[in-house]
């Protein structure tokens, strides 16, 4: 994902009135990013040890994205960022 796309996605998320769901997404994103930032330094054995935690953090982040997106749609807010996020992640 390039910086411009990331800014577009964050700009759309930032506009939501659903503060609690937005902050939950941010917390989950930071937790996952923390794990991924350390991943590079792990050897094979450490990666095996941490893989379950990484997977759970990833799934929690995706769940938070889906929950925010669905609720934004319910209150009539633009949630096109979710499709853009999926598209960017699938091209990695």
Percent of the chain clearing pLDDT 90 (strictly above) = 82
Which token pair is 2?
């390039």
- Could you state, in order of their start, the residue ranges of all structural domains in the chain? 3-90
* pTM for this model (two decimals): 0.87
Is 82 within 8 Å of 66 (Cβ atoms)?
Answer: yes
- pLDDT (0 to 100) of residue 37: 94
Binned at pLDDT 50, 70 and 90, residue 29 comes out as: very high
What is the residue-wise DSSP string for 25-86?
HHHHHHHHHHHHHHHTT--HHHHHHHHHHHHHHHHHHHHHHHHHHHHHHHTT---HHHHHHH
Q: What is the mean pLDDT of the chain?
A: 92
Whether the predicted pLDDT of 2 surpasses 70? yes
């Amino acid at each position: 994902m390039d910086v411009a796309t990331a800014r577009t996605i964050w700009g759309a998320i930032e506009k939501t009135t659903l503060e609690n769901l937005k902050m939950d997404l941010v917390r989950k994103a930071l937790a996952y990013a923390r794990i991924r930032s350390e991943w590079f330094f792990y050897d094979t054995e450490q990666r095996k040890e941490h893989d379950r935690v990484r997977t759970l953090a990833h799934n929690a982040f995706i769940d938070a994205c889906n929950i925010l997106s669905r609720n934004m749609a319910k209150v009539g807010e633009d949630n096109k960022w979710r499709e853009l996020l999926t598209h960017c992640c699938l091209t990695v």
